[in-house]
Amino acid sequence: MKVSKLWSLFWSVAGAVPVRVKIMGIILGLVLLLGLGVTFQIRASLSRTLADQLDKQAISITRDVAARSTDLILTNNTFALYELLRDTVDNNQDVRYVFILDPSGEVLVSTFGDRFPPDLLKANPVPPDQRFSLEILDTEEGLIHDVAVPIFDGKAGVARVGMSERHFRDVVAAATRRLLLTTALMSLIGIFAAYLLTMVLTRPIRGLVEATEAVAKGNLKHRAPVWANDELGQLGMAFNAMTEKLELARNELRRKEEMRTRLLEKVISVQEEERKRIARELHDETSQSLTSLMVGLKIVQSASNMEEVRERTAELRSLIEKTLEGVYDLALELRPSILDDLGLVAAVRKHMRDYSRKSDIHMDLHTIGLEEKRLPPEIETALYRIVQEALSNVIKHAGAEKVDVVLEHRGSSVVAKIEDDGRGFDVDKVMNSRKEERRLGLFGMYERASLMGGVLTLKSRPGQGTTVFIEIPLDGEKALLEERDTNSESTSVGSLSTGGDQ
Ligand X SMILES: Nc1ncnc2c1ncn2[C@@H]1O[C@H](COP(=O)(O)OP(=O)(O)OP(=O)(O)O)[C@@H](O)[C@H]1O
Segment interacting with ligand X (CB under 6 A) among 142-150, 327-335, 433-441, 487-495: 433-441
**Closer CB to ligand X, residue 90 or residue 265?**
265
**Sign of the dihedral defined by the CA atoms of residues 407, 410, 415, 420, in that order:** negative
CA atoms lying within 13 Å on the CB side of residue 407: 27
Residues numbered 216 to 245 that lie near ligand X (CB under 6 A) are: none
**Closer CB to Mg ion, residue 25 or residue 441?**
441
Q: Which of 35, 236, 422, 454 binds ligand X (CB under 6 A)?
A: 422
Size, binding site for ligand X by CB under 6 A = 16
Q: Does position 397 bind ligand X by CB under 6 A?
A: yes
Q: At its nearest, how many Å lie between ligand X and the CB of residue 362? A: 15
The DSSP output letter for 396 is I
Q: At its nearest, how many Å lie between ligand X and the CB of residue 259? A: 10
Give dist(CA 11, CA 214) in Å, integer: 29
Give dist(CA 236, CA 229) in Å, integer: 9
Q: Does position 441 bind ligand X by CB under 6 A?
A: yes
> One-letter amino acid identity for 134?
L
**Closer CB to ligand X, residue 22 or residue 423?**
423
Q: At its nearest, how many Å lie between ligand X and the CB of residue 403? A: 9
Q: Count Cβ atoms within 10 A of the Cβ of residue 354 and give its class: 0-12 exposed, 13-18 middle, 19 or more buried.
A: exposed
| Residue closest to 100 by CA, chosen among 37, 177, 154 | 154
Contact 444, 372 (CB under 8 A): no
**Closer CB to ligand X, residue 384 or residue 425?**
425
Contact 444, 396 (CB under 8 A): no
**Closer CB to ligand X, residue 168 or residue 425?**
425
Contact 247, 222 (CB under 8 A): no
Contact 134, 106 (CB under 8 A): no
Q: What is the per-residue binding string for ligand X in 264-283, x denoting contact by CB under 6 A?
A: --------------------
Q: At its nearest, how many Å lie between Mg ion and the CB of residue 463? A: 20
Q: Give which of Mg ion, ligand X, none residue 397 binds (C-beta under 5 to 8 Å, depending on kind).
A: ligand X
| Residue closest to 385 by CA, chosen among 465, 281, 472, 459 | 472
> One-letter amino acid identity for 471?
E
Q: At its nearest, how many Å lie between ligand X and the CB of residue 396? A: 6
Q: Give which of ligand X, Mg ion, none residue 420 binds (C-beta under 5 to 8 Å, depending on kind).
A: ligand X
Q: Does position 430 bind ligand X by CB under 6 A?
A: yes
Segment interacting with ligand X (CB under 6 A) among 86-94, 356-364, 369-377, 423-431: 423-431
Q: Does position 131 bind ligand X by CB under 6 A?
A: no
Q: At its nearest, how many Å lie between ligand X and the CB of residue 383? A: 17
**Closer CB to ligand X, residue 152 or residue 469?**
469
Q: Give which of Mg ion, ligand X, none residue 422 binds (C-beta under 5 to 8 Å, depending on kind).
A: ligand X
3-state helix/strand/coil string of 343-363: CHHHHHHHHHHHHHHHCCCEE
3-state helix/strand/coil string of 258-325: HHHHHHHHHHHHHHHHHHHHHHHHHHHHHHHHHHHHHHHHHHHHCCCCHHHHHHHHHHHHHHHHHHHH
Q: Which of 289, 423, 453, 481 binds ligand X (CB under 6 A)?
A: 423
The DSSP annotation for 18-84 comes to: -HHHHHHHHHHHHHHHHHHHHHHHHHHHHHHHHHHHHHHHHHHHHHHHHHHHHHHHHTT-HHHHHHH
Contact 122, 135 (CB under 8 A): no
**Closer CB to ligand X, residue 207 or residue 424?**
424
Give dist(CA 397, CA 346) in Å, integer: 25
Q: Which of 398, 406, 414, 415 binds ligand X (CB under 6 A)?
A: 398
Edge-first strand listing for the sheet containing 455-460: 455-460, 466-473, 413-420, 402-410, 362-368, 493-497
Q: Does position 166 bind ligand X by CB under 6 A?
A: no
Q: Give which of ligand X, Mg ion, none residue 361 binds (C-beta under 5 to 8 Å, depending on kind).
A: none
Q: At its nearest, how many Å lie between ligand X and the CB of residue 449? A: 14
Residues numbered 442 to 481 that lie near ligand X (CB under 6 A) are: 442, 466
Contact 181, 3 (CB under 8 A): no
Q: At its nearest, how many Å lie between Mg ion and the CB of residue 497? A: 25
Under the rule (CB under 5 A), what is the footprint of Mg ion?
Answer: 393, 441
**Closer CB to Mg ion, residue 393 or residue 498?**
393
Segment interacting with ligand X (CB under 6 A) among 68-76, 171-179, 315-323, 392-400: 392-400
Q: Which of 56, 155, 298, 396 binds ligand X (CB under 6 A)?
A: 396
Which residues of 133-232 form beta strands (DSSP E)?
Answer: 133-139, 142-151, 157-164
Q: Give which of Mg ion, ligand X, none residue 385 binds (C-beta under 5 to 8 Å, depending on kind).
A: none
**Closer CB to ligand X, residue 312 or residue 423?**
423
| Residue closest to 462 by CA, chosen among 428, 436, 439, 418 | 428
Q: Give which of ligand X, Mg ion, none residue 418 binds (C-beta under 5 to 8 Å, depending on kind).
A: none
Segment interacting with ligand X (CB under 6 A) among 132-140, 234-242, 323-331, 436-444: 436-444
CB under 8 Å to 297, separation ≥6 — which residues?
316
**Closer CB to ligand X, residue 225 or residue 499?**
499
Residues making contact with ligand X (CB under 6 A): 393-394, 396-398, 420, 422-425, 430, 439-442, 466
